[in-house]
Structure 1
Amino acid sequence: MSERETVRALLQRHGRTYAEEAGIRLRDTPQPLYRLLVLADLLSARIRASVAVDAARCLFEAGMKDARSMAQATWQQRVDALGRGGYRRYDERTATQLGDGAELLLERYGGDVRGMREEAGGDVERLKDVLQQVPGIGPAGADIFLREVQGIWPEAHPYLDGKALQGAGRCGLPGDPQKLARLVEKEQTPALAAALVRAALDKEVADDVRG
């Protein structure tokens, strides 16, 4: 199987972004970007991705879709929403982080994640640092956010980090982000990144596309 055939199989079978799974229609506007930041926070814990996605959906369904509504929700409301999504091991700490992060965004950026992009001035390494100012967003969370946002923030493209490259290795694909990115259309790169991460997390994904 050629590299392009492997990538095509990855995209067809495993190429749904995590934002799509969480019901986020990603656009360069405040609410979907904030929801992606929340999802990145949840996904970066040592918990199954499916649980993090479910918990994000429950937060959004409870009305916590932007920084202001997250900040205005009580700590218990955040805990309860996370619990409904099965996010119980980290629910109390994460509820606190989400509240603190929303307050920080409101104070520094008027609740608009795009302000963080402006502060970084097109420098992706700087943007990674800025993202990590948000409680709950560490290096892994910043990587998750940038993998997903690269389709609408061109300066982040191609963002195929260590986790995605680990998946590429399992699938017999190049370990170089630029070479990987050339195997797909630019707008498909977030989906490719998500599929490669799934291959890194689950050997059966790699076996599926290579078999």
Structure 2
Amino acid sequence: MLRRGLRSDPSELPLGHRAPGVGAVFVETNLGPQAGDAAGSELLLRGPVVSQGRTDGPLIPDAHGFVRTGLRAVGDGPGLRVKRDSELVQYGGFAIAVSELDALYQSFPGSLDGACFTLFDPMVGDRIFAAVVPRPDAAVSLQALHDFLAAREVASYKFPDRLLVVREIPRDAQGRVLRNEILRRV
């Protein structure tokens, strides 16, 4: 893998074949059903660098060899533009609902409240972090949170990379987590 250049636009992708040289297909992009919908269609990928996953895993290719990414994209002439959904974390090809991560971190026994927040990483997409408000009598640690998630058989890609202990989780008037406010405080 190569690190993305400073001047590159990560949202522009060509539709169709992407080849590093003559005759060798690197990766091919396609749009799933509902192409042309204002909300976009699911981005599909196939090629030698696209993980095919296990036969019982989440990355099962369709009849044409394309793997679903969980990302929404809109066709834009000969290319397409990937749409970011603020309610999804993109990690290593997986799309994870932030509400699912919030619920996992809130259910951690040593915490009163919890939420996820992310930082962009050019290699995996979003790095996942957990912000936790500990109970007054509890000591929380990243290892304890990982052990808790492992005991619940949570997929390892949903484990946070870091744990941030906070006094409160910032929320708006409707109770939605203000993830940018968590980042600002960091």
Q: Same fold (TM over 0.5)?
A: no
More strand by percentage: 2
Give TM-score scaled by structure 1 length. Answer: 0.27
Between 1 and 2, higher relative CO (CA 8 Å, sep ≥ 6) is seen in 1
Give TM-score scaled by structure 2 length. Answer: 0.29
Larger Rg: 2
More helix by percentage: 1
